[in-house]
Structure 1
Amino acid sequence: TITYPSSFMLVASMNPSPGGYFNDPDAPVSSSPAEMQRYLSKISGPLLDRIDIHIEVTPVPFEKLTETRPAESSIAIRERVTKAREIQSQRFELFDNIHYNAQMSTKQIREYCALDDTSLQLLKTAMERLNLSARAYDRILKVSRTIADLEQSERVNPSHIAEAIQYRSLDREGWLG
């Protein structure tokens, strides 16, 4: 057996139901909640637990597609991401093999994701109500640190925690209603 050093980013997608139209108000309901739950349970909880961000993408209505209102440009988004990566590079410049937030150890999470009482209470409530794992807890903190970096915020604040919690949709008990 040979082990090679590697680092990768997994980006995956899946249909939310066998018919692919879960939560689409304009689509015919073709699967029962039990069928959808059985379909979703094919993806193991421990695997989902290791994915940092889960988001549900709903169909975009025609009116939104044809809006003329200007959106944030790709150049502006790229600049924001580049600045966040620079912040992370500076944060971890004294560490070997750590270059960005996703690579933080538990010790580094505690140091760089220190939370105020409001943020702690918000995270505690989410952990209890959503029945989240310890691994999900760490993932939420890493993602919230990245959200803070994107805003060039020194500290992780409650809005960063709340947004990171929203990115754990497949962890939620009763996701199918």
Structure 2
Amino acid sequence: MVAVFPQKHLTDIAEWHRMGEAGIFPPEARLELIEGEILHMAPIGFNHAGHVSRLTRYFFRLLDDTVLIRSQNPIQLGDLSEPEPDLVLVKPDAHDYTTRHPSASEVLLLVEVSDSTLRFDRAQKLRLYANHDIAEYWIVNLIDNCLEVYRQPQDGGYLDKSVLTKADNIALVALPEFQISVASIL
């Protein structure tokens, strides 16, 4: 007798979009497509939501029209992943991304705000973003009250990791002219 094991059904972005258009998932469902798997995301808590609003407001004040700010909107990473990071700075698009989602090559900065998802964001999301050459990935770590900065993606990880506190400032790799006060986002 041959052993038969259950197999996962992995989906791609085209099928994922068809499921959404067909109304398979309820509108209030918090789902992401990560490496072909449909994952249920944790509900957004007060602290998390407040920090996302703070980040968005901070970057809107700091940046001009040469950078688009997307908050909790999808980005397309290959054919199998469409995460919805908490905040992404992207290169402008002539149609404001009304005909497609930004791809990895258009991402200038990607930020996840983490409390209950910290382990997931440090492991699976970090690997995903590094594998797609996201040049700069930040985790606003609400557990340890710090900013984790990941740069120089290589082989599913990042060569450069810094942990910053409220006393620190940082310049973005893609936008070095802007100094970010860590205290302003924590």
* TM-score (ref. length: structure 1): 0.29
Q: Using CA pairs below 8 Å that are at least 6 residues apart, which structure has the higher relative contact order?
A: 1
More helix by share: 1
* TM-score (ref. length: structure 2): 0.28
More strand by share: 2
Q: Which has the larger radius of gyration?
A: 1
